[in-house]
Amino acid sequence: MYNFTYHRAGSVDEAASLISDNEDAKLLAGGMTLLPTMKQRLAMPSDLVDLNEIGDLSGISVDGGTVTIGATTRHADVAASADVQAAIPALAALANQIGDPQVRNRGTIGGSLANADPAADYPAAVVGLGATVVTNKREIAGDDFFVDMFETALDEGEIITAVRFPVPQKASYFKFPNPASRYPIVGVMVAVTDAGVRVGITGAAPSAFRNAEMEAALGSNFSVDALDGISVDADGLNEDMHASAAYRASLVSTGAKRAVAAIA
C-alpha cells in the first residue's frame, strides 16, 4: 500500500473541509473495498479522511413509516437490529447476506453505496424500496443515485450522512451469490409499497435498476404467475467469467419469481 496522510474527522463538516481542499483525498468508511484496493496499489489517495469516529453518522432509528440508517452503520448492526427486523425484515436479511461475518462487522451502508459496486447488495434495496440518500448537501432519490458502474450522483467531496427507507407493506430479497466472493451475481428486491410494486435489481447491469414491466404486472396481480412470459433483455447486462449476460437475464426472471413467491 502506498503511504498517505491520515485524518480522523471529528464531524461531517470537518471531513467535508478536509476532502474539499484535496482532490486526491478519499473518504474512509468501513474500508472493505478501499483498503484492499489500496493494498493492490490500484488506488493511491494522498490523504484518507476517516469517518468512523463521527458518532452521529452511525445508528438506526424508526420513525413512523421510515427507517433511517446512519452512513457508517455496520452491516452487522442493520442485520441484528430488532427495529429493522420488525419494520423491513427483507432489509435486515439483505444486510445479513453481505460478505462474511467479519466483513459485516466493519462494512458500512454509506461506504457500500458511495462505492456503487455493480455487484453490491445494498443498491437493490435503495432502488427496490425507493430509499432516499441523504448527504451533507442535499437529498438524492434512490432512483437517481446510481449513474453507472462505480459511479453515483454524488458530487466531488459530497458525503453520505444517512439513508432513509420508507417502510413497505411487504418486501423480499432474493440473492444468487457468487459462491466464492458472496457478491450477488444477481440480487432482486421486490417490494409492495403504498405507491405500487417496485422491483430493484443489482448485479445484473452496470448499476442497479428497476424493471417497469415486472412492476406493472405485479401491480395488477401480485403472484408468481404474473411474471410468466416477461423476458428480460440480456442486451447491456454484465458479462464476465462468473456468468454470461443471458444467464444473468435468466437469473433476474427467476430471482424476481423467488422473491415474489416468498411473500405472495
Partner 1 sequence: MTVKVTTTVNGNQVSGDVEPNTLLVHFIRENLELTGTHVGCDTSQCGACTVHVDGRPVKSCTMLAVQAEGHEVTTIEGIGEEGNLHPMQAAFQEEHGLQCGFCTPGMIMASIGIVDRNKDNLSEEVVRHELEGNICRCTGYHNIVKSVLAGARDM
- Residues interacting with partner 1, by CB under 8 A? 1-6, 8, 28, 31-32, 35-36, 38-39, 48, 50, 52-53, 76, 80, 99-103, 105-106, 182
On whether the CB atoms of residues 26 and 47 are closer than 8 A, the answer is: yes
DSSP state of 264: -
- Least distance in angstroms from the C-beta of 102 to partner 1: 5
C-beta of 106 vs 170, nearer to partner 1: 106
Pairwise CA distance, residues 227 & 215, whole Å: 9
C-beta of 28 vs 159, nearer to partner 1: 28
C-beta of 107 vs 200, nearer to partner 1: 107
- Least distance in angstroms from the C-beta of 80 to partner 1: 8
- Least distance in angstroms from the C-beta of 106 to partner 1: 5
- Least distance in angstroms from the C-beta of 4 to partner 1: 6
- Least distance in angstroms from the C-beta of 31 to partner 1: 6
The backbone torsions φ and ψ at residue 61, rounded to the nearest 5 degrees and listed phi first, read -135, 145
The backbone torsions φ and ψ at residue 124, rounded to the nearest 5 degrees and listed phi first, read -60, -35
Helix ranges (DSSP H) in 98-242:
101-104, 109-115, 122-128, 142-145, 212-220
C-beta of 105 vs 244, nearer to partner 1: 105
C-beta of 97 vs 193, nearer to partner 1: 97
C-beta of 55 vs 236, nearer to partner 1: 55
- Least distance in angstroms from the C-beta of 203 to partner 1: 18
Pairwise CA distance, residues 20 & 45, whole Å: 14
CA 37 centroid distance within chain:
19
- Tell me which residue of 251, 43, 56, 19 sits closest to 162, measured CA to CA: 56
Those residues with Cβ within 8 angstroms of residue 77's Cβ, 6 or more apart along the chain or in another chain: 58, 60
